[in-house]
Each structure stands twice: as structure tokens, then as C-alpha cells.
Amino acid sequence: MTDPIRRRRLGLQRLRDIRRKPMEPAVAPSEGAEVFRACPKCGESSSKLKLNENQMVCPACGYHYPIGAYYRLHILVDRGSFQELDGGAPVADPLDFPNYPDKLEALREKTGLRDALLTGTCRIDGYRAVIGVLDGSFLMGSMGAAVGERLALAVEYADAHHLPLIVFSASGGARMQEGIVSLMQMAKTSAALARFSERGGFYLSVFTHPTTGGVTASFASLGDVLLAEPGALIGFAGPRVIEQTVGQKLPEGFQTAEYLEEHGFLDQIVDRRALRATIAQLLGLHGYKRRRTL
Ligand SMILES: [Zn+2]
């Protein structure tokens, strides 16, 4: 087991590395790694430098590349303002799932994250907030006991300190390796958010590509304001499962952020490059005060 101080150092190191050379975390550059990258949507090649300047959005078509938690913080929060909340990641292996603890440990070493959800306090354009970011490179951002606990603690911290809560979701849903314990996190996170809401807390949820399963069906959908990045896949079950269950062909664009916005499920789709300004504006509109000093 890696000791917590070393792990935290790894995380901070990763944040610094990303600041110097912003790249998607957890993707090791292979030998002779290409300097250009072809967009999976339009095929246009862009240099990695250009993509980084553009916050990993294709300059030609606006395709939003999935990004990791540290890179998200790098482009969103005020420099030097992020402080990780110690979520005390519980080790849950209730099914005695083959190789699960080893896999977790290897991912922690590789990513510098303790689990799929990174939580902390930060400032966004001067507004103090509690932030949570799911990282898709950590077991598909799936929700097990550690994610549920970290989210619940972040909610409680926001409540105790009268701070707004902002969560970026990117998830394959509940973590199958933890069986029923992972499903219980849906109730746990929802209950924590309900209490936060009753006490007047403001919760902003941002869907990113892809957000599915138990995360969509719990905390990601419970925001006072629901935003999404363009083109994000948002759903519970996959389209094939639904088609087989209901015996009908699904409409075009079903489960995309655009479809959901059109049908009233989302408040707004916001380009990644405009998210910082939009979030700051929303915090101001909800009565939070901007402070310039850390
Ligand atoms: Zn493109």
C-alpha cells in the first residue's frame, strides 16, 4: 500500500507536470509519440501543442476530447488555489474480486489519484468553491465506496463552510467489482445532496463525456443547475440494451447532451473554453462573493 503522503506528493507532482506541459493524465507517451493527433470526429490533424492551447477541443470541429481530473483543474481553477480534501478512501473489496486491490494500487501509482473522484477546495475566477472531478482513466470513473465517501464528505464540507459545490462527472456508472456496495453509493450521495439542498446549498453539476449508469441516476442529475459539454453521452443504460428492452428503434442523437437539452433535461450546453466564465457568472448570480486573494 502506498503511503498517503507519497500518494499526495504524486498527485501534486502530476498537477505541476500538467501545468508545465498540459496533457491528458494517465496516458503515457509511447516511444516516438506522434506530435499530431487526428480528431476522432472530423479526422483533422492538430498538433498536441495546439490542442493543449485549445483546452483539448478540436480547433476544426469543436470535438471535446475526454480529459482527466488534474487537467480539468488546470484549465478551470485559479492557479495554486486547489487544495485536496482528504476523503480517506476506504478499501472495499466485499466480493473478494480477483485482483481488485492490486488493480486499485496500480492505478493509484499510475495516476496519482486515490480513487476515481478527486475532491478539494479551489477558487474559480475568485469564487471559492468545493469541487469534485471524476477521472475516466480510473476504472472508467466508476463509483464504488471510495467515490461515494469522498463525494459525501465534499458535500458536508461545502455545507459546513457555506461554499458552493461543483461536480464534473465522467463515469461508466457503479463499480461492478464492489457489487451491491457500489449501488448503495447512489443512495448515500443522493441523501447527502438532499440535506445540502434543504440547508440552502448550491450544487452545480457538469456532465462530461461519457456519464452513464448509477452516476447519472444519482448525484450527477441532482444539481440545482445542470450543465454539459457539447457532444457528451449522457444516459443510464446503453442504447443497445434499451432497444432490446423496449423493442423500438431509438431516435437520432438519443442520449447526447444536445438531445437532452432540447428535451429539458439540461439547463445549458457549455463549450469547455467558456466553462470557467460561465461557472463564475453562475456563482455570482447565486450570491457568492468573489475574493481575489487566496
Ligand atoms: Zn475535429
CATH number for position 183: 3.90.226.10
Q: Is residue 231 part of a domain?
A: yes
* C-alpha span between 67 and 118 (Å, rounded): 13
Name the residue range of residue 143's domain.
68-285
**Who's near 203: CB < 8 A, 6+ residues apart?**
155, 164, 165, 166, 167, 193, 196, 197, 222, 223, 224, 225
* C-alpha span between 108 and 102 (Å, rounded): 10
Whether the per-residue pLDDT at 195 is higher than 90: the answer is yes
* C-alpha span between 137 and 67 (Å, rounded): 9
Mean pLDDT of 261-267: 96
CA of 29 to the centre of ligand 1 (A): 21
Q: Which of 169, 216, 221, 174 is nearest to 193 (CA)?
A: 221
| CA atoms in the 13 A half-sphere facing the CB of 10 | 16
Mean pLDDT of 38-44: 96
Q: Is residue 263 part of a domain?
A: yes
Whether the per-residue pLDDT at 26 is higher than 70: the answer is no
CA of 39 to the centre of ligand 1 (A): 5
Q: Is residue 92 part of a domain?
A: yes
pLDDT band at 86 (very low <50, low <70, confident <90, very high): confident
CA of 149 to the centre of ligand 1 (A): 37
Mean pLDDT of 9-38: 58
> Mean pLDDT of all residues in the chain?
90
Q: What's residue 92's pLDDT?
A: 79
- pLDDT single digits (tens) 98-137: 999 999 999 999 999 999 999 999 999 999 999 999 999 9
- Apex 56 CA angle, 50 and 58, nearest 5: 70
Q: Is residue 108 part of a domain?
A: yes
CA of 54 to the centre of ligand 1 (A): 12
Domain count, the chain: 1
